[in-house]
Amino acid sequence: MKTKAVRLYGKNDLRLETFELPPVGEDEILAKVVCDSICMSSYKATHEADIHKRVPRDVQQRPVIIGHEFAGEIVEVGAAWRHAFKAGDKFSIQPALNDAQGPVGILSAPGYSYRYIGGDATHVVIPNAVMANGCLLHYTGDGYYPASLAEPLSCVIGAMHANYHTTPGSYLHRMEIRDGGNMAILAGVGPMGLAAINYAIHRTGRKPRFIAVTDIDRTRLDRAALLYSPAEAARNGIELRYVNTGQLDDPVDALKALTGGKGYDDVFVFAPVAPIVEQADALLAFDGCLNFFAGPAKTGFKAALNFYNVHYAGTHVVGTSGGNTDDMKEALDMMGQGLDPAGLVTHIGGIDAVIDTTMNLPSIPGGKKLIYTHIDLPLTPVAGFEALGETNPVFAELHRLCERHHGLWNVEAETYLLAHAGDI
């Protein structure tokens, strides 16, 4: 079968190509990709290419398909996996395979490392390593985009599971955020910050009592407050405050005052900016945990930490860059129970939009850019449907469907798009 896919050949060298996939082996699966959410990690891999830890050194000779936040439908199953999967099954993939035999060893991942599997393609061959490591996951919910966004949601799920707190007088570390504690989500109204807010207020079990979300962009803060309102958080037992730190003379004092001066048990940093890291460190309460979530593009990134507090107040730092398979399963389970990640999506596009979007992702405002790989469509903001609808009936209907869902992308709109994509 032929596939149309975006492949990485070298630094800033992405190419949209049509080529033949190899025959499906007995331990492989042929799949149709429906959608892929473009991640900042793809931007980094594109700009670093063969020096990136997940990209093969010989990528110029053996190009890889990019995109790792994807979902679709199984087409053909090799004999070895027919007991677990069948044609027509919807799927999501955990890209962190921990495949020691992969093209770059243990860090090998679809969307970075493999020639015939990645999210920015019409069809892919799923290698045995994905199934053998339990990383091909069934999705039984509505639509496809929730399964695509399960991977970024799993990253924030993993971050909250990875935080820890200590037990005075012992060497026992208690994993997870502090139940009933104070949480700060700094630079927290980008796509991943929104996912963290969504998860924190809707998860069952362990929850914070208070969450402060910060940013310096009033428009983005206002949008976040509409998507995940303080009233909605209160219904789930959480006090939620959105804070524009750009308007504060002393953000640390103001944010600490919201906790009665105690500080924050769990602080998540969603932008690789040294002053924000230092602000996070200053906000920590006794035994506070700082999670540096945002991956820096520069290998020499540094920020100052208060080691007096490390010694006397037990403050500590962790860093997470993704979730594991259990986190993906938790994300998919929450999607199946009605958790909708649509608030992350601000743009849609077709496979022809992948290259420009990936290459310029940091400069494109908004949240997640969702690509439908079987259509050609320039990257289009959901907020722009109304204007486009004045001359295009497809966009007029997409606007109507999104308005029914508070201006958000939704399963109805996705279904309509896929049925009428040829008219675009």
Average pLDDT over residues 112-126: 98
**Rounded average pLDDT over 100-128:** 96
pTM of the model: 0.87
CA distances from 166 to 109, 171, 261, 322 (A): 33, 7, 21, 23
pLDDT over threshold 80, residue 46 = yes
Per-residue pLDDT reduced to its tens digit, 219-274: 999 999 999 999 999 999 999 999 999 999 999 999 999 999 999 999 999 999 99
In this prediction, residue 323 has a pLDDT band, given cuts at 50, 70 and 90, of confident
pLDDT at 121 over 80: yes
Give the closest residue to 163 by CA, choosing from 196, 137, 210: 196
Q: Look at residue 173 in the predicted model and tell me its pLDDT.
A: 94
pLDDT of residue 138: 96
Q: Rounded to whole angstroms, how far apart are CA atoms 412 and 289?
A: 41
Structure confidence at residue 391 (pLDDT): 97
3-state DSSP call for residue 165? strand
pLDDT grade for 338, boundaries at 50, 70 and 90: confident
Three-class SS state of 221: helix
The pairing of strands 284-292 and 316-319 is parallel
- Residue holding tokens 């949209």? 16
Q: Alpha-carbon dihedral of residues 153, 159, 160, 163, nearest 10 degrees?
A: 180
pLDDT at 43: 95
At 157, phi and psi to the nearest 5? -60, -45
Q: How far apart are CA 261 and CA 31, in angstroms?
A: 54
Q: Where are the beta strands (DSSP E) in 102-234?
A: 123-126, 136-138, 164-166, 173-175, 182-186, 210-215
| Chain segment 68-95, per-residue pLDDT in tens | 999 999 999 999 999 999 999 999 999 9
Nearest Cα residue to 15 out of 378, 351, 405, 406: 351
